[in-house]
Amino acid sequence: MMPQTQQAATAAEPYITPDGRKIGGVLMDLRNITLRFGGVTAIKDISFNIREGEIRAIIGPNGAGKSSMMNVMSGFYIPQEGEVWFRGEKRPQMRPYKVARLGLARTFQNIALFDGMSVLDNIMTGRLTMMKSSLLEQALWWGRAEAEENRHREQVEKIIDFLEIQNIRKTPVGRLPYGLKKRVELARALAAEPKLLMLDEPMAGMNVEEKEDMSRFILDVNDEFGTTIALIEHDMGVVMDLSDRVVVMDYGRKIGDGTPDEVRNNQEVIDAYLGVAHD
Amino acid sequence: MLYREAGDFKTSYRDDSQTFPLKLDRWGYYAALAVAFLVIPFVITDYWANSVLVPFLIYAIAALGLNILTGYAGQVSLGSGGFMAVGAYASYKLATAFPEISILIHVLLAGGITAVVGVLFGLPSLRIKGFYLAVATLAAQFFLVWLFNKVPWFYNYSASGQITVPERSFLGWIITGPQTSASAKYLVCLGFAVLLAWVARNLTRGTVGRTWMAIRDMDIAAEIIGVNPLTAKMTAFAVSSFFIGVAGALLFSVYLGAAEASETFGINKSFLVLFMVIIGGLGSIFGSFAGAAFLVLLPVFLKNVLVGSLGWPTDLAAHLELMIVGALIVFFLIVEPHGLAQLWRVTKEKLRLWPFPH
Amino acid sequence: MEQLLYASEVVVNGLMTGVMYALVALGFVLIYKASGVFNYAQGVLALFAALTLIGIQQGQVPFAHLISAVTGMHLDSFGWTVPSLLAILLTALVMVGLAILIEALVLKHLVGQEPIILFMATIGLAYFLEGLGDLMWGASVKSLEVGLPQGLSETVETMTDSLFGYGFFIDRLDIWATIIAAVLVASLVAFSQYTKQGRAMRAVADDHQAALSVGISLRFIWVMVWSIAGFVALVAGIMWGTKSGVQFSLSLIALKALPVLMLGGFTSIPGAIVGGLIIGVGEKLFEFYIGPMVGGATENWFAYVLALLFLVFRPQGLFGERIIERV
C-alpha cells in the first residue's frame, strides 16, 4: 500500500534505554500540523513523532496549544493542514470513535468520567470497542452476552487491582474526590489496552503525594504493559523525571524537541518559561 | 438486622452482577412474582383490573420505554403519545389484515413498527440536543396524531374515525374485545410487563446500557473513547419506541378496545408517561413501575376521597389532581431528582444498618 | 391574478398570526436569556393571566367552587365589576406576585441544576398553574372583552379594493395586536439595552457567577424577569383571549411558540419575531396550498416539522449563538 521509502524515512532504529526498556520504531508521526479556529492559529506547522514504548511529553506555558495538539492526535479536532501517521499508515479523516478503535485512548484535562455510573461501569466502558455480542443477545442475556461480560470483567478487575481502587469499585463516580477520579479515568483508558495512551495533564491539581502515586502508575504502565504514553504536563520536574523525550511548545509553535537534558539547556525553552524581554 | 448482606458472599463475577445481589431481595422478588401470577388472577375483579392493575402494567411498559431513552440515554422525548398511537394503529391494521395470526404476535410486531418510526424521528438527535430535541419530538407527536386522524386507511375507513379491536383469543381464552375477562386482560399485560422488564434489565446492565449512559453523562467524551453516537442513540430510540409501541398496542387492544388518535394519544399522554419516569426515577427500572403505579393510583385515590367520601364535584377533583401532580413533579425535582427509586434505595441502605446505624 | 391576491391575503393574515406567536415566544426568550430556564409554563401563564383578568373584571369570587364544596356556601360574585384598565393593572400585580412565589418556591431551590431538569420543573409548574387557574376561576369557556376593536377592518378592505379590485379581509384585532406587539418589543429591547436593570439582566444571562461577584442580586433579577414574562403573558392572553375565547386551548399556543423559538434561536429577541413571522406565514400558506390535498388541519404539525427540518441543518437556529464544543 504505502511506499517503502516513506516508512524507512520515518522509522528510527530501535534501542534499549539505560534502564532496560525497549524503544521501538515510530508509532505516531505528526507531520506539519496546522490548526486554526477562525482567525486564531492554535498550532503552527508542528511535526514530531512518538516511538513505540517511550514516554513522550508535550510541555509548554499556558495557551501554547498542547491540549489542541492532543485533540488533533485523538481525532477530535481536524487540522487544516498536515498529516497524522499512525503505525506506518496515513490516518484518513475519521470520526473520533473510529480513531479510538485504532488503539488510542486518552484522559482529559477536566476529568471526563461518566458521573452517573459506578467506577466499575466507567472502567468497563473502556472495553466497549471490544464487545461483540448483538443487541438481541444482550436483550435476552443469551449467547455471547454473559460470557463476554464476565471475561471483560476479569480484565477490568486486573486493572482495578493494578491501580489499587478495589474498595471504590461500586461507588458512583460523581461521589469520588478529585485525585481518585483522575485514577479512575486512567483505569478507563488502560482498560482499552491502547497502543498509544494519551494523558492530558494527569497530575494537574494534585498534591505532592498524589503526584508521586500518579507518576508511579504511569511508569508502571509503561514498564509492565509496554504501553506507549504521550503526556501533557505543566510540572517541569515531573516531566523531566518521567519522560524519554520532550516536545516544547510555545504560542502554537514547536520550540524544542529532544531528551530532557537537551531541552533543559535549550535557550529558546528557557526564554519561554522564564520570560525574556522582546525588543 | 434481618435485611443484610453480611455472609452473603459472591464467588464469581456472574453472582456479583446479578439483578438482586441480596438474598432477601431475591426472595422478595420471587414472592411478588408468585403472587402476581398465581394469586391475583383468581381474585381479580373488573374494577381492580380496569382502574388499577391493567393500566398500571401498560403504563409501566411505556414508562420503561421512555426511561430507557430519557433516563439511560439522556434523550428527552415528548413524543411518547404519538409513538403509542403508532403501536395501537399498527396492531389494529395487523390484526384486521391477518386475522389468522395471534394478536400477541401482532402486539410484538406493532412494537417493531414503532421502533422503525422511532428511529426515523430520532435521527435529528444526532444534530440537536437537550430541549431542542425535546421540542423536536413534539413534531413526532403532532404529526403522527394528525396522520392517524386524517388518513382513512389507518382506521380502515370506519365512519366514526375510531379503531375498534376485533375479538381474538389465545389458547382458547378471549384476550381482546368486550367479552374479555378481567383475569385474561391482567395476565396478558402482566406477561408482557414481566418479559419486557427483564429485557430492559438485561440491556441496561450490559454493553448497550453502558454506551447509553456514556452518551447521557458526557457525549463528547463517550465518542472519544470509542462510542459510536449514531448506533448508541438509534438503539436507544429503537428499543424505547419498541416498548412504547407495545404499550400503545396493549392500551388499545386489551385495555380500551377502541381508540381515536387525538383523544387517546394526545400530548397529555406524552406528559403522563414523562411524569411517571420523573416521579419514579430517571434511570431506574424499578422506578418505572413505581412511577406508573403512583400516577395510576393517584387519580383513583383522589376520586375515592374527594368525590366518594367528601362528595365534591368531579371537575373540582380533576383540577385538584392537576395541581397535585404538578406540585409533585416540582417537589420531586427539587428534593429527589432520582425519584421514588432513590427513596427506596435510601430506605434499604438504612434498613441494612438497622438497628445499629453507626 | 385572483389566486395571487388570495395568496397575499393569506400571507398578510399569516403575518398577523405570526406576530401573536412572536409575542408568546418573547416571554420564553426573556426568561431563557436571564435565567437559562426554558419556561414551558409560559402558555399557561397567558391562560392564567387571561382567566384572572376576567375574574377581576367581573368581580368573581376566587375558589368559589372549592368554597361551596367545602363549606356549602354559594358565592359566585362580589356583585361589582371593575373597569378594564384597572383590572389589567390588578392582574399585572397578580402576575408579579406569582413571579415572586415561583422564585421563592421553585427556582431558588433549583439553582445550578441541569437545564433539562429546570425544563421539566416548568412542565410541572404548568400543570399546577392550569389546575390553579381552573380551581380559582372555574373551567368554563369565557369570552374576554377589554375594549379592543374587533371585526372586519373596513378601511383595509376599501383601500385594497380600490387598489387591486379585491378587498382583503383583515381583523381589526389583528392590526391592533401587531401594533401593541411592536410597541412591547421595542420597549423591551430599550429596557434591556439602556437601563441599569436591563444591563444587570444581560449580565446574569452571560454568567451567573460573574454577575453575583459584581453585586447583582440574582433573585431580584429572576423575580423581575418572571414578572416581565408574566406581563408579556398577560398581553398575549388578552390578544388571544379576545380573539378566540379563554379556555384551555389558549395554553396550547405556548406549544406553538416552541417551534418559533427553535427557528429563531432561544437567545435572540429579533429571532423570536422573525421566527414567529416565518411560522405564521408558512403554516397559513402550507394549509392554503397543500392542506386541501392532504385533508387539512396541517397547522397542527407544520410548525414543528418545519422547525425540526430546519434544526437538522442549522442546530443553533437563525440568530442563535453558535455552539462550540470542547473537551
Sign (positive or negative) of CA dihedral B154, B159, B160, B165: negative
User: What crossing angle do the helices spanning C84-105 and C218-244 adopt, rounded to 10°?
Assistant: 140
Whether A105 and B225 lie within 8 Å, measured CB to CB? yes
Question: Strands A81-86 and A196-200: what pairing?
Answer: unpaired
Chain B environment of C135 (Cβ under 8 Å): 316, 319-320, 323
CA distance C322 to chain A (A): 13
Whether B226 and A100 lie within 8 Å, measured CB to CB? yes
Q: What are the beta bridge partners of residue C59?
A: none
3-state secondary structure of B49: helix
Nearest to B223 among A96, A121, A189 (CB): A96
Chain A environment of B207 (Cβ under 8 Å): 128, 131, 133, 138, 145, 148-149
**Contacting partners of chain A (3+ CB pairs under 8 A):** B, C
Among B148, B167, B171, B186, residue whose Cα is nearest residue B56:
B186
Chain B environment of A140 (Cβ under 8 Å): 199, 202
Comparing A73-82, B300-309, C250-259, the range with the smallest average pLDDT is C250-259
Chain A environment of B196 (Cβ under 8 Å): none
Comparing A175-179, A182-186, B133-137, the range with the smallest average pLDDT is B133-137
pLDDT of res. B7: 66
Nearest to B224 among A106, A153, A157 (CB): A106
Nearest to B131 among C116, C128, C135 (CB): C116
B/C interface, count of CB pairs below 8 Å: 140
In the structure, what pLDDT confidence band is assigned to residue A3 with cuts at 50, 70 and 90? very low
Interatomic CA distance for residues B29 and C22, integer angstroms: 54
Give how far the C-alpha of residue A188 lies from the chain's centroid of Cα atoms, to the nearest Å: 12
Among B157, B247, B261, B117, residue whose Cα is nearest residue B193:
B247
- Tell me what ipTM this predicted complex has: 0.87
3-state secondary structure of C316: coil
Condensed to tens digits (0 to 9), the pLDDT of residues B229-259 reads 999 999 999 999 999 999 999 999 999 988 9
Among C175, C194, C224, residue whose Cα is nearest residue C33:
C224
Interatomic CA distance for residues A254 and A131, integer angstroms: 39
Whether A149 and B17 lie within 8 Å, measured CB to CB? yes
Q: Which of C48, C111, C116 is most worth mutating to test chain B (most B CB atoms within 10 A of its CB)?
A: C116
Whether B210 and A113 lie within 8 Å, measured CB to CB? no
**Contacting partners of chain C (3+ CB pairs under 8 A):** A, B
Please count the other Cβ atoms lying within 10 Å of the Cβ belonging to residue C264.
30
- As a whole number, the mean pLDDT across chain B is 88
- Which phi and psi angles does A56 have, rounded to 5°? -115, 125
pLDDT of res. C326: 62
For range A28-37, the mean pLDDT: 93
Q: Which of B268, B323, B328 is most worth mutating to test chain C (most C CB atoms within 10 A of its CB)?
A: B323
Chain A environment of B223 (Cβ under 8 Å): 95-97
Q: At residue C324, does pLDDT exceed 60?
A: no
Q: Which of B322, B331, B336, B338 is most worth mutating to test chain C (most C CB atoms within 10 A of its CB)?
A: B322
In the structure, what pLDDT confidence band is assigned to residue A5 with cuts at 50, 70 and 90? very low
Runs of H (alpha helix) within A129-258:
135-139, 144-162, 178-191, 208-220, 236-242
Residue type, A106: R
Topology at the third CATH level for domain A1-103+230-279: Rossmann fold (3.40.50)
Condensed to tens digits (0 to 9), the pLDDT of residues A35-60 reads 998 888 999 999 999 999 999 999 98
Q: What are the beta bridge partners of residue C22?
A: none
In the structure, what pLDDT confidence band is assigned to residue C327 with cuts at 50, 70 and 90? low
The CA–CA distances, whole Å, from C97 to A125, C27, C107, C134 equal 50, 17, 14, 18
3-state secondary structure of A263: helix
Q: At residue B215, does pLDDT exceed 50?
A: yes
CA distance B151 to chain C (A): 8
Condensed to tens digits (0 to 9), the pLDDT of residues C91-137 reads 999 999 999 999 889 888 887 777 778 888 888 999 999 999 888 88
- pTM score: 0.89
More confident residue, C250 or C49: C49
Whether B131 and chain C come into contact, CB under 8 Å, resolves to yes
* Chain A residue at shortest CA distance from C324: A37
* Chain A residue at shortest CA distance from B236: A135
Q: Which of C123, C125, C279 is most worth mutating to test chain B (most B CB atoms within 10 A of its CB)?
A: C123
* Chain B residue at shortest CA distance from C125: B326
Q: At residue B106, does pLDDT exceed 90?
A: yes
Condensed to tens digits (0 to 9), the pLDDT of residues B16-27 reads 777 777 777 788
3-state secondary structure of C240: helix
For range C254-264, the mean pLDDT: 79
Interatomic CA distance for residues A150 and A154, integer angstroms: 6
Residue type, A19: D
For range A232-239, the mean pLDDT: 83
Q: Where are the domains of chain A?
A: 1-103+230-279
Condensed to tens digits (0 to 9), the pLDDT of residues B275-300 reads 999 889 888 999 999 999 999 998 88
Chain A environment of C327 (Cβ under 8 Å): 71, 76, 108-110, 112
CA distance A262 to chain B (A): 34
Whether A101 and B226 lie within 8 Å, measured CB to CB? yes
Runs of H (alpha helix) within chain B:
13-16, 23-34, 40-43, 46-48, 54-66, 80-97, 103-122, 130-150, 182-205, 207-217, 219-224, 229-250, 261-264, 267-280, 285-302, 314-335, 339-353
Q: Side-chain half-sphere of A79: how many Cα atoms within 13 Å? A: 28
Condensed to tens digits (0 to 9), the pLDDT of residues B29-44 reads 899 999 989 988 888 8
A/B interface, count of CB pairs below 8 Å: 106
Q: What is the DSSP letter of C250?
A: G
Which residues have C-beta within 8 Å of that of residue B312, sequence separation ≥ 6?
A: B306, C69
Question: Strands A228-232 and A196-200: what pairing?
Answer: parallel
Buried b (16+ CB within 10 A) or exposed e, A206-243: beeebbebbbebbbebbeeeebbbbbbbebbebbbebb
B314, with CB counted inside 10 A (0-12, 13-18, 19+), is exposed
Whether C327 and chain A come into contact, CB under 8 Å, resolves to yes
